[in-house]
Amino acid sequence: MFDKQTSWKERISYGLSDTASNFVFAMISTYLIYFYTDVFGIGAATVGTLFLVTRCIDAFDGPVFGILIDRTNTRWGKSRPYFLWLAIPLAVVFVMTFTTPDLSLTGKTVYAYITYMTLSIMYSAINVPVTAILPSLSSSPKERTVIVTVRMIFAALGSAVVSICVLPMVDLLGQGDKQKGFFWTVVILAVFAVIFFFIAFKNVREKVEPISDKEKIEFKDLLLVMRKNRPWVVMVIFAFIYFLVFTIKMQSTMYYMTYNFGRPDLAAGILGVSTLSIVATICIPKLTSIFTKRTTMLVGLAIFGLGQLIVWISSGNDSVSLLFIGAIVGVLGLGLIQPVLFTMAADTVDYGEWKTGIRAQGFLSSAPTMGVKIGMGVGGAISGWLLSAGGYVPNQTQSASALMAIEWSYIWVPIIGVILAAGVMMFYNLDKTSDTMTRELEARKLMKEEK
């Protein structure tokens, strides 16, 4: 028998943990490169290298935190206590990252490295538990899909707040001073993030216990679980490609709207369109009950790619309406991809337990973040390097080569990434064995309870 459904109070509280996470994630993925180049005054090439170095170093902290979760045993569970322990430290570093001390260019670069790297590590430390706790909330794949759907809706709301409200808040709070505006905007977001993490800690409960009585997972166990878990390997590679694409596109939005389309006033609206991803996300439980998760993912990638082509056509016609149509189509595709990605990652935890008898949910849930982090790092680096190679100069009329570099970042690199991601997804085969796996795991659980 599967666990009973989680309550709506618990689903919403869990979703708020990702609203809080997305305040940080969306600020980094959408505005940080612009903040560094146009507000803090660091060169684009330097920022590109900063993103790559920071993310590649930071990439390895996900599995480390996953192992810590697997070895954590408290009266609150394994993942849940991290919401309480790390909410305030994350908020403090978040604010520091968007603070602009009066330093030399070298000093600014060093400050950016220290604060951004620390923020990335702190984000992993609290966001890995958000993902790792999912397999403990329910043993039912269908219920997990519902939980992830709710989570992604609230995550999208967090991203929407950042996309729609940040630039107007910067203008309002800064009164022409972007440094001041970004600082106070991030202070407000940080306060709400702390509140939301505390709500999640209070209301979310871990219910699913491992079948094995083994409390301490050794390194050799992790090697075995990885070696026997092909779907997990596929998800790590897919996460790398997807978040590379996502990061490049998001970080290029301000530049594309300002210089290529010539309408910087449209940036907030285009970013705000991301809210509509909720429409697609709501449909996921129904879609995955009809089609496989892999098929749903491939459809999402195809829709996103179509949206990219429509946006490209719109720039040639200077059509604002076509631009928004393309943006809407694209975010509907994204609304199918991310929630299914997290559900599939949770399913690989069950697969690993089914194949090896070891439930390494912290490590397996967190290790795809290595792909996410490296993807974001490479994506951020590509954005900065393309701008630099094209001769980008902040707040000036751009050359033809700079405009082409921005176009490649915003349109063509994401399209290439979609094609690669679809190819990787073809190797995901867990959908075929999911029902058998779930039945056998439930049978083992019942046998353990009867002993």
Q: Each residue of 393-409: pLDDT tens digit?
A: 887 888 999 999 999 99
Q: Where are the domains of the chain?
A: 10-205+213-450
What mean pLDDT comes out for the span 133-146? 83
Q: pTM for the full model?
A: 0.74
* Whole-number Å distance between alpha carbons of 358 and 340: 24
Amino acid 84: pLDDT:
95
Amino acid 3: pLDDT:
52
* Whole-number Å distance between alpha carbons of 115 and 107: 12
- Indicate the pLDDT class of residue 1, thresholds 50, 70 and 90: very low
Reading the block at residue 76, the tokens are 């609150």
What mean pLDDT comes out for the span 243-247? 86
Closest CA to 37 of 48, 21, 26, 27: 48
Q: Each residue of 105-134: pLDDT tens digit?
A: 999 999 999 999 999 999 989 988 998 898
What mean pLDDT comes out for the span 373-397? 83
Name the burial class of residue 439, with classes exposed (0-12), middle (13-18) and buried (19+) by CB atoms within 10 angstroms of its CB: exposed
Exposure b/e, 310-337, CB count within 10 A at least 16 = b? bbbebbeeeeeebbbbbbbbbbbbbbbb
Amino acid 368: pLDDT:
64
What mean pLDDT comes out for the span 324-336? 93
Domain 10-205+213-450 has CATH 3.40.50.12160: no
Backbone angles phi, psi at 74, to 5 degrees: -130, 170
Determine the number of helices (DSSP H) and then strands (DSSP E) in the chain. Answer: 21, 0
Q: What is the mean pLDDT of the chain?
A: 88
Amino acid 400: pLDDT:
93
* Whole-number Å distance between alpha carbons of 422 and 399: 34
